[in-house]
Amino acid sequence: QVQLVESGGDLVQPGGSLRLSCAVSASTFLFNICDLGWYRQAPGKQRELVASITSARSTTYDDSVKGRFTISRDSAKTTVDLQMNSLKPEDTADYFCQMSCGSRVSWGQGTRVTVSS
> Where in the chain does DSSP place strands (E)?
3-7, 11-12, 18-25, 35-41, 48-53, 59-61, 69-74, 79-84, 93-101, 104-107, 111-115
pLDDT of residue 26: 94
Q: Cβ distance 24 to 104 under 8 Å?
A: no
pLDDT at residue 1 tops 90? no
pLDDT of residue 87: 98
Nearest to 64 by CA among 31, 26, 91: 91
**pLDDT 10s digits, 2-39:** 999 999 999 999 999 999 999 999 999 999 999 999 99
As a whole number of angstroms, the distance between CA 104 and CA 34 comes to 9
Q: Cβ distance 96 to 41 under 8 Å?
A: yes
Indicate the residue type of 88.
K
Mean pLDDT, range 93-104, rounded to an integer: 96
pLDDT of residue 52: 98
Q: What is the dihedral of CA 86, 88, 93, 94, to 10 degrees?
A: 10
**pLDDT 10s digits, 50-96:** 999 999 999 999 999 999 999 999 999 999 999 999 999 999 999 99
pLDDT of residue 5: 98
Strand 93-101 relative to strand 35-41, pairing: antiparallel
